[in-house]
Chains A and B, each alone.
Chain A
Amino acid sequence: MNLIIVSGPPSSGKTSIILKAIKAFKNQGRSVGVVKFDCLYTDDDKLYEQSGVPVKKGLSGALCPDHFFASNIEDVVKWGEKNNLDLLITESAGLCNRCSPYLADVKGICVIDNLSGINTPKKIGPMLKSADIVVITKGDIVSQAEREVFSARVSAVNPKAMVLHVNGLSGQGAYELSQLLYDENQNITSVQGMKLRFPMPSAMCSYCLGETRIGESYQLGNTKKMDWGD
């Protein structure tokens, strides 16, 4: 089975381009399944269901979503194997720009959109920097110049990535994306022992453990203060 980890800021077009790629995969006769990770709520599973592919969703709720991803990805792979998928795609929203869900030996895709502003590539961090493929969406609503400035910045942050423009509405570029995603020679049956590409923050503070009160005397563990310059 092929495994693909898709990540990117909220509303960047992840679901849209995955749905378009699924259409292309179906035409090629490949069976696809999707597992959607989110925090509190998602409707994406319904969209995937409508497109007729097996789908599961995982809501991290009270946990950090990226930690939740890391703790569940092995079961996700088992589910994919059980369903005899050719291709299993996970979608997770990058929520804090600090972490990324990519695993060292699994294809990682970052989806960002042209509308998010030209300083976004700099802000995103490992989610963009350590992706194998960067998909840029919403090119239909900006000018060629903005597309060029934006993708120049993406490649300054991640010069090794393949950069692809895909339109999440019309599907232009999705066929091409599907060709890049699937690799005949890849067969993942387990992710046991694989490593995250980028370590998650090691810090734990009082608020991680349920503290709600504000004030110095309640803050234990790893606290960090802003630098006020005086």
Chain B
Amino acid sequence: MLELSIKELVKKYPFVIEFFEQNRLDIKGFEEKSFEEFLSCLDEDELEDKAIDIRGLKNELLSYIEQMKEFLGISDGQVNSLTILSGKYKDGKAEPFEKLEIRKSEIISIVGPTGSGKSRLLADIEWAAQGDTPTGRTILINNKPADPKWRYSPNNKLVAQLSQNMNFVMDVSAGEFIKLHAQSRMISDPEKISQEILQAANKLAGESFSSDTPITGLSGGQSRALMIADTAILSASPIVLIDEIENAGIDRKKALKLLVSKDKIVLMATHDPLLALMADKRIVIKNGGIHKIITTTKEEKELCIKLEKVDSVMQRARQSLRMGNALNDEVFFE
């Protein structure tokens, strides 16, 4: 494919522009030449100056094209099920279950005291463990051992994580931010998807924000809402892990619904009863092991609705405060 002229190459694989850009290769004026011809025209002093080693570049370009082709090919969620085969507790005893199969659009919560091994379980999944982590667990994807490429390829990530601390560090507006993300994912219509995400985010956040709002200026709730919407809609990863997410200021139920409506598998470690009961099942971790797997009962689901009411009282009180109102008993009634 390297006999193509740079122009043809860009036409066929638009993403190679990113390769030239990130490697500081200025191809302007060389569009009609092949990549190798372009390299042979570069001045040696200039290369030393810019610390560019052209020997490897040809192969790197080929690897990059292969990687991106593969990435673009598999991105549309091929994961139907995730299976955890049992391992052992911290003391080496075998876990008391054989396997747990989780299907797409299912929500699983993970509960247990601090230090019990909740994050370790999430890490086992992220790493697609094959009996090679301290827990000895094995993770199957679609009933088969996970392809090792999930592990190291920066693009084919099996798992997206919602971070615990939700800060943004980039200095861009919410709209630009989503567009940047869409570009890195080679989405064909960044404008459209950016609007979809902002809309979804505004449904999750208590206070609305626009596409021009700088992301560093978003409130905690708004940032979380934007991140959840973005992860649901734009992230390629079919599995979403949530590790003790802070959840003030967002509509948790809608957030989880949004994630699973995009066919994601959601696992969340949490101490929040409302979140735990929203899940279809919950995994109880004790001393490093999966101690119990509880299916959320009808009674618990009903209790969950009551808890939501309590929660919404708090939300209304918060909202009322924010509006500068005096608080009174009215927050308890609608």
Contacts and interface: CB of A to CB of B under 8 A. Distances in A.
20 contacts: A27-B134, A114-B169, A117-B169, A122-B21, A122-B24, A129-B23, A129-B53, A141-B163, A142-B168, A142-B169, A143-B231, A147-B161, A148-B235, A155-B153, A163-B154, A164-B152, A173-B127, A175-B133, A179-B132, A201-B48
A199 B19 CA distance: 23
B153 A140 contact: no
Interface string A86-115: 000000000001110000000000000011
Given A143-B163, A155-B155, A163-B154, A98 B21 contact: no
Given A157-B23, A163-B154, A146 B169 contact: yes
The 9 closest A-B pairs by CB, nearest first: A162-B152, A152-B184, A156-B22, A159-B64, A163-B154, A151-B154, A159-B63, A145-B181, A155-B154
B154 A152 contact: yes
Given A97-B51, A145-B231, A173-B123, 10 more contacts: A122-B21, A122-B23, A129-B53, A140-B163, A141-B163, A143-B223, A145-B227, A152-B184, A154-B154, A160-B63
| A contact patch SS | helix
Nearest to A173: B123
A144 B151 CA distance: 17
Which range contains the number of A residues in contact with the other chain? 35 or more
Given A143-B227, A148-B184, A122 B22 contact: yes
Contact of B152 (A130, A140, A163): A163
Contact of B51 (A146, A152, A198): A198
Question: Which interface residue of A122, A125, A146 has the most chain B CB atoms within 10 A?
Answer: A146
Interface string B3-34: 00000000000000011011110000000000
A125 B123 CA distance: 31
Contacts of A153: 18, 22, 184
Contact of B119 (A27, A145, A155, A170): A170
A208 interface: no
B60 A158 contact: yes
A20 to B, nearest CB: 12
Interface in A152-196: 152-160, 162-164, 170, 172-173, 175-176, 179
A155 B169 contact: no
A126 interface: yes
A159 B60 contact: yes
Contact of B235 (A99, A140, A144, A158): A144
B170 A155 contact: no
Contact of A202 (B48, B132, B223, B236): B48
B162 interface: yes
A113 B212 CA distance: 27
Interface string A54-69: 0000000000000000
Contacts of A140: 163-165
A143 B225 CA distance: 11
Contacts of A201: 48
A152 B15 CA distance: 11
B133 A145 contact: no
B38 interface: no
Interface in A13-51: 27
B209 interface: no
Contacts of A198: 51, 53
A146 to B, nearest CB: 6
A122 B52 CA distance: 11
Contacts of A99: 51
A130 B165 CA distance: 32
